[in-house]
Amino acid sequence: VGPSSGPQSLEVLCIIMAFYLACPGKVFLNRGNHEDRHTCASYGFEREVGRKCTKQIFETINSVFIVLPICTIVDDKVMVVHGGIQDERVTLEELGQCNRRVFKGVPISSTMEANMTKKEYRLANVMLGALWSDPDPHVHHGVQPSPRGAGSAFSEQAAKAFLRANSLSMIIRSHEVCKTGYETRFQHKKDTACPVVATIFSASEYSKGMHNRGSVMRFSKAGPGVVDHNSKKKRVFEVPHTSLSFFVESYSHRESNTSKALNETRLSLRSIIMSKRDQLAATFARVDEASTGMVSLEQWCGVMEE
């Protein structure tokens, strides 16, 4: 939610929180690697909130981020988490013991480690893995350090061992942009289409020049097959050892003609303003008789109209 939602990150957060409050028991939120004070400061969310509101609002938002759950378990068998697992030894009990309030979503330095007990260090790494790790088909056994600098790159063997140890069937996560909005990693068996790990990335056109689709995953108690949804046939996957099934819907952002016209108008206005930059600066300085470096909105409008 935080600094990864573009220039309207605060508005996106407010909309999500409004849904959360308006639909108790129907909207569930997990913490991601960006819901962290350090990341918010590094990627501009702290500045955005300070510009639009106050520092106190930013502090309030962070007080919400630090208590968001690390993961959600669906029907006792499917784990929904932002990143993944630190290693195959992670347990749901450990995930529940992580101290979310004091956790800092940055790599653990030797100084930080020296001030931790063995258990605190373990749980801090478990939480880093939940928020930062990624599945990697090039890792053939166990895990390797993640190139992100936090969390792990975990293998098919590690994912399956984690699921077996915790009586789970599937991991659903995000954290990686997918061209189609949806990506699967590892299979349960050759005759089972359901993946061990599925990446769902809901933000289409994630950044400038990145023409990725977004997707959502819909669960039901229906069996495998093909269903007709919104006049489009969707393949339905059955989750092993559960009565759950799911299908994925992807979408792309299409800029409307109105949006294009508005953007073209903005660019045109910007070009006109920049071409008269020196003239405008001189006129604003004349209007600002007290040399405060500021003009009122009414004065600005008058100069621009002139």
Residues with catalytic annotation? 34
Strand order in the sheet with 232-238: 214-220, 245-251, 232-238, 225-229
Among candidate residues 83, 74, 105, the one with its CA nearest the CA of residue 154: 83
Helix (H) or strand (E) holding 196: strand 195-200
Among candidate residues 198, 68, 76, the one with its CA nearest the CA of residue 134: 198
What is the C-alpha to C-alpha distance for residues 218 and 92, in angstroms, rounded to an integer? Answer: 24
Type of residue numbered 120: E
User: Rg of the chain's alpha carbons, rounded to an integer?
Assistant: 24
Residue 295 structure tokens: 């003009």
Helix (H) or strand (E) holding 71: strand 71-74
Among candidate residues 11, 63, 76, 71, the one with its CA nearest the CA of residue 37: 63
Among candidate residues 180, 179, 128, the one with its CA nearest the CA of residue 154: 128
Largest CA distance in the chain: 79
Strand partners, 79: 73, 171
Strand order in the sheet with 143-145: 134-135, 152-154, 143-145
Residue 173 structure tokens: 């996560």
